[in-house]
Structure 1
């Protein structure tokens, strides 16, 4: 294990092979269907099972963050092998996870734990964690890693299209896009993250138009496609995500492109059938 351990939570949606390769510790949030509680670890309920359940459930699930005790247990174990911890998490405006982390740190005075509020979720958070973990494996210091993470943060762009606003609205994660609620049902909103919460980016009339608008928006935002790192995520919209993956590859020929499954906690708020494109230029 590296001198600096990198910890995140399950809303980062980082593919499991990269979690293992880069020795990232992922602490799961939980999703609650009525009285059934499942850890968002892909094991207690698989992603496929989750989307099948949410589509058939009359009552929308809720989510809950890990407790301070959960973090204390993980931190205590990791600090037996590592000198310090960088703990990077979902936006404080979207979840109480950072609150649990801060309470855990208070209970561990004198331990070298650095908390980072990513201001993001899903692979926008994930890209920060991957950068930190790569640098940790290279033997970089805590200070060097933090500088790179904070340098990367403003470069990350997030565009996502829910199939419906129902889940964001009912989950209380609609943020600054609440003005869209009264919009015509035909409108497909393209949303982004701004100041740590959901915000309106553009609107399209139909689903296929929204997908094209995603590509067109990327064209205006990307200066050097050869340096482009992209994540194409979906909440049980495999065909659409595969189509977007191929269109992005053909249009931009990015340096790196990942296909990502959006997990249960993020999927609870985005709802099934959504697409999420997250990218930055190295």
Structure 2
């Protein structure tokens, strides 16, 4: 029986990937202007970015326990193997909720072939892990192969990103009010990465023109075997800069493929418009 891959909406993949590789998606929730929306189903990232630009505030919440219970029960009853690759547990409580429900379901269905993994990844870095594993599942890979590949891919996925306005990270509690104010005043663009699932500042760069060049330098230092990799770029409603970065990468590293997607509504609510993120593996690709 084919192994089903489940992801949540924080992986920032487009619908054609879900359809093309038979990936099931469960949405997180976006709260904006007093209304609740299922991410990528009832709201688009563009709507969130426009609202933020107009002074609106956006919040997000994790997948509900009942949603996981419904999904996991359906797979337990049919005994179809399910692997849920979760958004980083350091950025959302969704993974912990899924693990709790997995244990609950297995009390009733001890042999239920349900597996929940914490990718410790976000946005398209998380999406690339999901896509890699979904391709293996479609090719008929065994469960142990899929779990090993997911774990290995996730462990070695680099996330290098910058935001256009520190104010949005301040609202999400990532930087102080003073840092946000001074950063905006001095046109400082922070470069951040994800380490063990957490957002960690790398350095501060004066001026947006230097940021893309610096991202390439970090990529060259940390990455490996680019010609056999799929590189990911996600953006906060700034396709022009994302395509500029993709062009620089193709020219410099002769990469196999670059996927460009918009940062989804859930992550975009915290990172804001103008975010540019780069994702690649830091070890030779198997």
TM-score, with length taken from structure 2? 0.90
Matched, 1:68 2:65: yes
Matches of 1:179 and 1:82, distance apart in 2:
54
Query: Could you say which residue in structure 2 is the equivalent of 1:252?
Result: 253
Matched, 1:268 2:269: yes
Matched, 1:7 2:6: yes
1:83 is matched with which residue: 62, 80, 84?
Answer: 80
Q: Which runs of 5+ in 2 are unaligned?
A: none
Q: Is the 8 A contact 1:4 1:82 kept in 2?
A: no
How far the C-alpha of 1:49 sits from its partner, in A, is 2.0
1:49 is matched with which residue: 24, 47, 50?
Answer: 47
Between 1:101-110 and 1:181-190, the stretch displaced more is 181-190
Matches of 1:130 and 1:184, distance apart in 2:
36
Matches of 1:206 and 1:191, distance apart in 2:
15
Q: Is the 8 A contact 1:160 1:274 kept in 2?
A: yes
The alpha-carbon distance between structure 1 residues 184 and 64, as it changes in their structure 2 partners (threshold 3 A), is: closer
Equivalent positions of 1:94-113 (< 5 A) are: 94-109=91-106, 110=110, 111-113=112-114
Q: Is the 8 A contact 2:89 2:118 kept in 1?
A: yes
Query: Could you say which residue in structure 2 is the equivalent of 1:130?
Result: 131
Residues 75-119 of structure 1: CA deviation (Å, up to 9, x unaligned):
233445562111111111110101221222132122221111111
How far the C-alpha of 1:225 sits from its partner, in A, is 2.7
TM-score, with length taken from structure 1? 0.91
RMSD between aligned alpha carbons?
Answer: 2.0
Q: Which runs of 5+ in 1 are unaligned?
A: none
How far the C-alpha of 1:126 sits from its partner, in A, is 1.1
Give 3-state SS (helix, strand or coil) of 1:108's partner.
Answer: helix
Equivalent positions of 1:173-184 (< 5 A) are: 173=174, 184=183
How far the C-alpha of 1:182 sits from its partner, in A, is 7.4
Query: Could you say which residue in structure 1 is the equivalent of 2:200?
Result: 199
The alpha-carbon distance between structure 1 residues 224 and 24, as it changes in their structure 2 partners (threshold 3 A), is: same
Q: Is the 8 A contact 2:9 2:25 kept in 1?
A: yes
Give 3-state SS (helix, strand or coil) of 2:7's partner.
Answer: strand
Matches of 2:73 and 2:84, distance apart in 1:
13
How far the C-alpha of 1:153 sits from its partner, in A, is 2.1
Between 1:236-245 and 1:79-88, the stretch displaced more is 79-88
Between 1:189-198 and 1:243-252, the stretch displaced more is 243-252
Matched, 1:121 2:122: yes
How far the C-alpha of 1:184 sits from its partner, in A, is 4.0
Q: Is the 8 A contact 1:3 1:82 kept in 2?
A: no
Matches of 2:222 and 2:90, distance apart in 1:
25
Query: Could you say which residue in structure 2 is the equivalent of 1:145?
Result: 146
